[in-house]
Chains A and B, each alone.
Chain A
């Protein structure tokens, strides 16, 4: 009877351990997936355009206004090709 009890206890413990391991493994995979998915973010916020002088935005050398208006991304002061702002 005692031997049977020991076997039962051992079997139960083994089953619980297996279940726990599987649970931990699954949780670990889910956590990794969640961590990886968290990296799927949009690119950087565009930097602020610089100051405007006393001539105002219509000055021919108003670079911030030209950057805001530009159709070409190289003139628009957007984040660089490696994603750096």
Chain B
């Protein structure tokens, strides 16, 4: 007969459990040691570069080049933040410094573009135009620079230069709504009504609900002496945007030209009622009151 096990123990499991738990603890401790030892290796194996990689050279020329690259990127970041906050002079100073460092692409065209924006915001349209031109010279496919070049030439009142810039913009981006609008506006302002009509009709075909395109079609029609067509387009613009006071004033002018004084008076009155803009309201009221009954 086998000896009776001591009281409170079961020969079938108690010693085995103790053995297992001791082995388990040993395994866990071993794993922890291995993990702790390999952790730096795992971290080092990460492939993400740092924000500013440590140069792995002692060559002065290479170090200088790396420092210049770093300065270019940092100054563009600072200038970008300044422009976003409306600090135009501070932004312009950063971009002037970047340009002096002769940055590669895309930072070169970016610096000129952002400098153009900062100068335009300070009403320095001539220098802004030069900056946008240089951005385009570095990167001819830079459409935002082409768009802004048209805008600054128009702001400067240089319609022929704006027209040339708008033609080039549309040639490189024929599907761009912005390019169509830019060319249409410059054509209208230079008296080229057929081109304006073509561009605003294209814009209107792409989006018939755009009231401004109908308004500009009406102005082109009026320049061509087609007052009936102008009236129709203006009524379409007003139906699409009831608060379009400028379109209501234009409608009044067209009606007045056709000798329809009562309808013109109503149009000017509607314009005065439909806007919160004090200048437009005063203009509409003056025109309404100037019409003799």
A residues contacting B by CB (< 8 A) are 25, 28-29, 32-33, 35-37, 39-43, 45-58, 62, 64-65, 67-83
Contacts and interface: CB of A to CB of B under 8 A. Distances in A.
A1 to B, nearest CB: 42
B212 A83 contact: yes
A32 B113 CA distance: 44
A42 B219 contact: yes
B109 A57 contact: yes
Contacts of A83: 211-212, 215, 241, 244-247
A13 to B, nearest CB: 25
Contact of A40 (B181, B206, B254): B254
B257 A37 contact: yes
Given A53-B80, A54-B73, A82-B241, A36 B253 contact: yes
Label chain B's interface by main secondary structure.
helix
A65 to B, nearest CB: 5
B161 interface: no
Nearest to B74: A54
Nearest to B154: A45
Contacts of B120: 48
Contact of A32 (B177, B189, B256): B256
A46 to B, nearest CB: 6
B148 A48 contact: yes
A45 B155 contact: yes
Given A39-B253, A68-B179, A71-B206, 13 more contacts: A39-B283, A40-B222, A49-B147, A56-B107, A56-B110, A57-B144, A58-B106, A65-B142, A69-B173, A78-B210, A78-B212, A82-B245, A82-B246
A70 B177 contact: yes
Contacts of B148: 48-49
22 contacts: A32-B287, A36-B256, A37-B253, A37-B257, A39-B246, A40-B253, A40-B254, A43-B212, A43-B216, A48-B151, A52-B80, A52-B113, A54-B107, A57-B113, A65-B143, A69-B143, A69-B173, A69-B176, A73-B181, A73-B206, A76-B176, A82-B246
